[in-house]
Amino acid sequence: MHLLILGRGKTGSLVAEVAQQRHHKTRVLGAADNPNASALRPELLHSIDTVIDFTTPASALANITAVAAAGKNMVVGTTGWYNEMERVRQLVEQHNTGFVYAANFSIGVNLFFDIARAAGAAPVYGYLPQIFERHHVHKKDAPSGTAIALQRIIKETGRVEPEITSFREGEVVGMHEIVMESANDRIYLCHDASSRRGFAEGAVLAAEWLAGKKGFFDFKDIWRDLA
């Protein structure tokens, strides 16, 4: 496959590395190369199979719009644009493209979502849930998309919306904790990422899975198909 990776940050650079190791042809554009999605013209995208976005919330929506208009498939790991979810879904349907997004492309985090779903019933039995998330100081959005996904899972299963507390510290890759406390005991659930490589591998696997497909997909619904 020929992949265009948007974002020269730590995760975007690692996505390019993983893609090359998996024998894909890659091209990378940083923020300076693509202001306001200006580089995403049909002539540049003509030979591209799939675009992978790890940029910023401010850039993602313009990138998505340009890529959809060119009729190209896209994998988006950037968060912070989800208030425009319906607009993006309509763009994907209008241009008949393939699109996969995720709050987190790590297989481990998606397993963690399943664990959270099982534990999410705890508030029904008197437990008070809280979510804590820690990321590096360069992360643009707070709370993280992963923390918001965990909040939504617990709200759906436990009928209560847990508070999210966010920390931005040093070079922390990403830690998410769920604490459920009752009068009798306390439950701790935690996912602690030691490397961004899990995010990068998941994004490339999603791009491979998306080849030849059309539609709007959440990675949490398709990751089991990657094994």
Is 46 a catalytic site residue?
no
What is the CATH code for 2-101+197-226?
Answer: 3.40.50.720
Q: CA-CA distance, 186 to 16, in Å (whole number)?
A: 42
Read off the pTM.
0.91
What pLDDT was estimated at residue 188? 98
pLDDT at 141: 87
pLDDT of residue 227: 81
- Average pLDDT on 182-189 reads 98
Out of 10, 136, 139, 155, pick the active-site residue.
Answer: 139
What integer is the mean pLDDT of 103-119?
A: 96
Q: Does the structure show a pLDDT above 90 at 178?
A: yes
Q: Is the pLDDT of residue 186 over 90?
A: yes
Residue 156, phi then psi, degrees to nearest 5: -65, -40
Token pair belonging to 83? 């208030």
Quick one: which of 191, 200, 201 has its CA closest to 114?
191
Interval 23-64: pLDDT, tens: 999 999 999 999 999 999 999 999 999 999 999 999 999 999
Domain formed by 107-193, architecture = 2-Layer Sandwich (3.30)
Structural domain spans, the chain: 2-101+197-226, 107-193
Percent of the chain at pLDDT > 90 equals: 95
pLDDT tens for residues 63-106? 999 999 999 999 999 998 999 999 999 999 999 999 999 999 99
- Per-residue three-class SS string for 115-173: HHHHHCCHHHHCCEEEEEEEECCCCCCCCCHHHHHHHHHHHHHHCCCCEEEEEECCCCC
Q: What is the mean pLDDT of the chain?
A: 96
Residue of 184, 123, 181 lying closest to 156 (CA atoms): 123
Of the residues 24, 72, 135, 220, only one is catalytic, namely 135
Q: Does 116 score more than 90 pLDDT?
A: yes
Q: Examine the residue annotation and report whether 2 is marked as an active-site residue of this protein.
A: no
Residue 133 has pLDDT above 90, yes or no: yes
Question: Do 2-101+197-226 and 107-193 have matching folds?
Answer: no
- For residue 7 the two structure tokens come to 């974002």
Angle value at C-alpha 42, between 79 and 44, nearest 5 degrees: 80
